[in-house]
């Protein structure tokens, strides 16, 4: 069992709680990995092997420049106190429950009423993301972005899905430069030349809508611009092949092929997911070439959210148990949409 690890039990329990953590060298099936019982030992072994002791190394090097030596490595800032949500706004079931986050079994397939709810939550998530993007400029802190996102979501009668999800302390993820995903908004001000992914998920009328984009802060160099452009192209290409009966593994192939063409890496340990009544459910969407089985179904909703890197694709998790950065400090970009499988292809639910 998990608690048996004497070295870093806190770190391990978070890996078990992070639905999107996916041990890439696993020979087990995806389904087995994400079952709360049978998958645990496997995940904990992987986590202890890969991550024990690495976080302290990271902090010793935190003043070093990143791999490309143009920017300082990201460091944790100060996280502001919890933001309240009005009591009349319905919370997702995981809030206040001590249950670790995870991938629920069973896909999200909707009737007409459910589709309308998914359209509404997707639209709100897209609008919030668009608004957050307009705030991105040198000097604004990621905490201020969190404040704005939080406010807009509750003003619209929705709950910010990340808040309290597996203990996540804020209402949005803000992932700067080498941060691959799950960055916690804090007191760090965005700097000219940074890139920042903002990942918004809203829970509206019992349905989650999940979307993210990577934004430029001021004047961004050519390398970063190109990474962001190619990452967006990967998402768009993947969406373009989605339709009923299409194999999920085609998503991984088209993304990986396009990233290869531009010599970028594809992060493997974090994955897309079914989304709907549940924040993270089957199927697991792999962004890299794979041989997994499974096909898309009419009226199914899931996310595609490729993360591409300039250098290492290996993640390191900070001591906050959330922030995921590249091992070598090289840049990472991500885009995400929630899509609905229709007869004639994919409908993007999180488009403005
Ligand atoms: N929105 C993220 C996703 O794309 C999940 C964030 S979970 C959080 O799946 F707890 F980190 F917010
Ligand atoms: Co997602
Ligand atoms: Co997301």
* CB contact set of 111 (below 8 Å; sequence gap of 6+): 299
Residue 47 lies in a domain: no
Residue range 130-180, pLDDT digits in tens: 999 999 999 999 999 999 999 999 999 999 999 999 999 999 999 999 999
pLDDT at 61: 37
CB 333 within 8 A of CB 228: yes
CA 239 – ligand 3 centroid, Å:
16
Residue range 266-275, pLDDT digits in tens: 999 999 999 9
Strand order in 332-334's β-sheet? 265-266, 307-309, 332-334
Query: Helical H runs in the chain?
Result: 9-17, 30-34, 40-51, 54-60, 112-135, 142-155, 222-240, 249-261
Residue whose CA is at the smallest distance from ligand 1 atom 4: 210
Q: Is the CB of 143 under 6 A from ligand 1?
A: no
Residue whose CA is at the smallest distance from ligand 1 atom 6: 162
The minimum-distance atom of ligand 1 relative to the CA of 280 is: 9
* Structural domain harbouring 151: 10-41+55-65+90-348
Q: Is the pLDDT of residue 56 over 50?
A: no
Residue 326 lies in a domain: yes
Only one residue has tokens 């194999």, namely 247
Q: How far apart (Å, rounded) are the C-alpha atoms in residues 212 and 130? A: 10
Q: How far apart (Å, rounded) are the C-alpha atoms in residues 334 and 180? A: 7
Q: How many domains does the chain have?
A: 1
Only one residue has tokens 């460091």, namely 75
Which SS3 state, helix, strand or coil, does residue 268 take? Answer: coil
pLDDT at 101: 80
Residue 5 lies in a domain: no
The minimum-distance atom of ligand 1 relative to the CA of 173 is: 12
CB 240 within 8 A of CB 347: no
What are the phi and psi torsion angles at 221 (to 5°)? Answer: -70, 165
Residue 183 lies in a domain: yes
Mean pLDDT of the chain: 85
Residue 311 lies in a domain: yes
Q: Is the CB of 164 under 6 A from ligand 1?
A: no
Ligand 1 probe mutation, 18, 19, 20, most atoms within 8 A of CB: 20
Residue whose CA is at the smallest distance from ligand 1 atom 8: 162
CB 285 within 8 A of CB 304: yes
Mean pLDDT of 298-327: 98
Mean pLDDT of 13-39: 32
Mean pLDDT of 334-342: 99
pLDDT at 167: 95
Instruction: Using pLDDT thresholds of 50, 70 and 90, give the confidence band for residue 97.
Output: confident
CB 256 within 8 A of CB 288: yes
Residue 76 lies in a domain: no
Q: Is the pLDDT of residue 32 over 70?
A: no
CATH code, domain carrying 287: 3.90.230.10
Q: In the beta sheet, which residues pair with residue 348?
A: 339
Instruction: Using pLDDT thresholds of 50, 70 and 90, give the confidence band for residue 15.
Output: very low
CA 26 – ligand 1 centroid, Å:
23
Q: How far apart (Å, rounded) are the C-alpha atoms in residues 297 and 188? A: 43
pLDDT at 151: 99
Q: Is the CB of 22 under 6 A from ligand 1?
A: no
Residue 181 lies in a domain: yes
Q: How far apart (Å, rounded) are the C-alpha atoms in residues 209 and 151? A: 17
The minimum-distance atom of ligand 1 relative to the CA of 182 is: 11
Q: Is the CB of 162 under 6 A from ligand 1?
A: yes
Cβ neighbours around 278 below 10 Å, total: 20
Ligand 1 probe mutation, 94, 161, 175, 335, most atoms within 8 A of CB: 161
Residue 25 lies in a domain: yes
Ligand 1 probe mutation, 199, 272, 323, 337, most atoms within 8 A of CB: 199
pLDDT at 64: 57
CA 182 – ligand 1 centroid, Å:
6
Q: Is pLDDT larger for residue 11 or for residue 105?
A: 105
Q: Is the pLDDT of residue 31 over 60?
A: no
* Four-point Cα dihedral 64, 65, 68, 73, nearest 10: 100
pLDDT at 70: 77
CB 118 within 8 A of CB 207: yes
């Amino acid at each position: 069992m998990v608690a048996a690890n004497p070295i870093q039990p806190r770190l391990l329990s978070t890996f078990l709680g992070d639905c999107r953590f996916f041990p890439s060298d696993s020979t087990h099936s995806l389904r087995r990995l994400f079952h709360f019982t049978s998958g645990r030992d496997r995940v904990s072994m992987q986590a202890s092997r890969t991550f024990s002791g690495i976080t302290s190394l990271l902090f010793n090097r935190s003043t070093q420049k990143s791999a490309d030596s143009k920017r300082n490595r990201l460091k944790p800032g100060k996280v502001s106190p919890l933001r309240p949500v009005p009591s009349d706004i319905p919370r997702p079931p995981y809030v206040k429950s001590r249950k670790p986050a995870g991938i629920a079994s069973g896909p999200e397939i909707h009737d007409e009423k459910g589709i309308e709810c998914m359209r509404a939550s997707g639209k709100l998530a897209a609008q919030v993301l668009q608004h957050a993007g307009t705030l991105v400029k040198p000097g604004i802190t990621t905490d201020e972005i969190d404040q704005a996102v939080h406010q807009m979501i509750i003003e619209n009668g929705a709950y910010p899905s990340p808040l309290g999800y597996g203990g996540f302390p804020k209402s949005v993820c803000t992932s700067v430069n080498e941060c691959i995903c799950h960055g916690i908004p804090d007191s760090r001000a965005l700097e000219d030349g940074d890139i920042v992914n903002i990942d918004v998920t809203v829970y509206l009328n019992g349905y989650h809508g999940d979307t993210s984009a990577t934004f430029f802060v001021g004047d961004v160099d050519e390398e970063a611009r190109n990474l962001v452009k190619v990452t967006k192209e990967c998402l768009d290409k993947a969406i373009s092949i989605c339709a009923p009966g299409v194999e999920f593994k085609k998503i991984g192939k088209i993304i990986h092929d396009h990233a290869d063409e531009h010599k970028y890496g594809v992060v493997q340990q974090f994955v897309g997911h079914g989304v709907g009544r549940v924040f993270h459910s089957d199927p697991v969407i792999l962004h890299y070439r794979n041989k997994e089985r499974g096909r898309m179904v009419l009226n199914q909703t899931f996310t595609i959210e490729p993360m591409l890197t300039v250098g290492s694709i290996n993640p390191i998790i900070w001591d906050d148990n959330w922030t995921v950065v590249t091992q070598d400090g090289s840049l990472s970009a991500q885009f995400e949409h929630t899509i609905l499988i229709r007869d004639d292809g994919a409908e993007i639910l999180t488009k403005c």
